[in-house]
Structure 1
Amino acid sequence: MKIYTKTGDKGTTGLLYGGRVPKNSPQVELNGAVDEAQAHLGLVRAHATGELASICRDLELDLWILMAEVATQASKRDHLKPGTTLVTRDMVTHLEELIDQISLRFQPPKEFVVPGEEVTAAFLDVARTVVRRAERHSVAFVEEAPDSLVQMYLNRLSDLVWTLARWSEGVSLTARGAQNA
């Protein structure tokens, strides 16, 4: 099986459940940013261990669901399956629960954060900025699909990734302090 299809050579791409759109359409721009965010979360996962790695993998899988929804024409949204190809309220609630749980594990910063305190947190901060870009792109998508939870999910995801970065910094700084004691 060849990886190239040549169907996109004229500047269009295929959508889930049929149809084609220009590669610079709002849907494709959004999915491109989400794809990039997913790759950054994969980079974090490759450097993380334990719970953080597991959380990142789950988020990456969620982003496949989100991208499937975005890659569907408004007229074909009835084909989407909640939790498989359609973002659900439960997915958003899960992010909120994770934010609440992880936030209890560290003291939140009292001033603006300068990224780069430690490697994993820095990777998470890059992922967060890409998620924020995806969220900005989602505004146009949600105008076409007002019942979509894509924008809400991305908003919570950026909050979660920020929270994970601060937690990662705290874990790392605590470990460094213990080593230096």
Structure 2
Amino acid sequence: MKQQTEFLMSTADTIASPERLPLLQLLALTLASFLATANETIPAGLLDQIATGFMTSEAWAGQTVTLCALGAGIAAIPLTVLTKKYPQRNLLLISLITFSVCNLLTALSTHFIFVLCLRFIIGLATGLAWSILATYARSMAPPHLQGRALAIAMLGIPLALALGVPLSAW
């Protein structure tokens, strides 16, 4: 815990100024929260294409969303506890790399069960990312601006929910 606190404090000291928010860094976290949420929900707009491509029902194709959500729900608290000793920036990068690799493998896969396993792994990475984003955003801002920093970083979630599924369906 001490190591994580020291890391967060050193990050906050180098990024935050007493008068303003580190907007560019917070927008990077906004993008990360957008990607984490979009990764979970985009298949909902593609269920008929997924079902056709894998020759399965739309109900089974919907399990791509379900397993991702399940992984995120299962992972958030345990992964937060297990990884608290590690630098948050590195863990967030690992989450984003996991999204990328699993999405690439999903795009190349011809086996639906493998895709379901990948979607669960994406969910685990999503749970980890969500647990990191809030703490990391707050650590970047001075105490009186931490609420704003959190709001900016988490803006990616409603954007992904509002835009991700419709754009994927389009």
Query: Normalising to structure 1: TM-score of the pair?
Result: 0.29
Bigger RCO of structures 1 and 2 (CA < 8 A, at least 6 apart)? 2
Higher helix residue share = 2
Query: Normalising to structure 2: TM-score of the pair?
Result: 0.31
